[in-house]
């Protein structure tokens, strides 16, 4: 009887061990998946950074050009006003 109880206990513990090992394997796989995803996101972040820098530079260039165009338009308006005044005289 004692031998039978010991065997049942061994079987029970073996089952629990097998379940724990399976859970551990699943968790290890999930961890690996998460690590892979984090690494992919880090690469994406770096790619975005390298894309943003030239875009930011281009925006600055466009701002400067826009300001230059605004200045030219203002100057053209002044010249037009002066020309209108001169014609009116």
**What predicted TM-score, i.e. pTM, was given to this entire model?**
0.54
More confident residue, 1 or 35: 35
3-state secondary structure 7-63: HHHHHHHHHHHHHHHHHHHHHHHHHHHHHHHHHHHHHHHHHHHHHHHHHHHHHHHHH
CA distance 38 to 44: 10
pLDDT tens string 10-50: 999 999 999 999 999 999 999 999 999 999 999 999 999 89
Grade residue 85 by pLDDT with cuts at 50, 70 and 90. confident
Q: Tally the residues of the chain.
A: 89
pLDDT tens string 48-65: 989 998 999 999 999 999
pLDDT surpassing 70 at residue 88: no
């Amino acid at each position: 009887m004692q031998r039978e109880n010991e065997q049942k206990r061994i079987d029970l513990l073996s089952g629990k061990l097998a379940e724990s090992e399976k859970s551990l394997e699943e968790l290890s796989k999930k961890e690996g998946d998460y690590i892979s995803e984090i690494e992919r996101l880090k690469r994406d972040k770096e790619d975005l950074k390298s894309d943003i820098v030239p875009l930011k530079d281009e925006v600055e260039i466009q701002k400067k050009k826009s300001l230059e165009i605004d200045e030219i338009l203002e100057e053209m308006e002044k010249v037009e006003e002066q020309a209108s005044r001169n014609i009116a005289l």
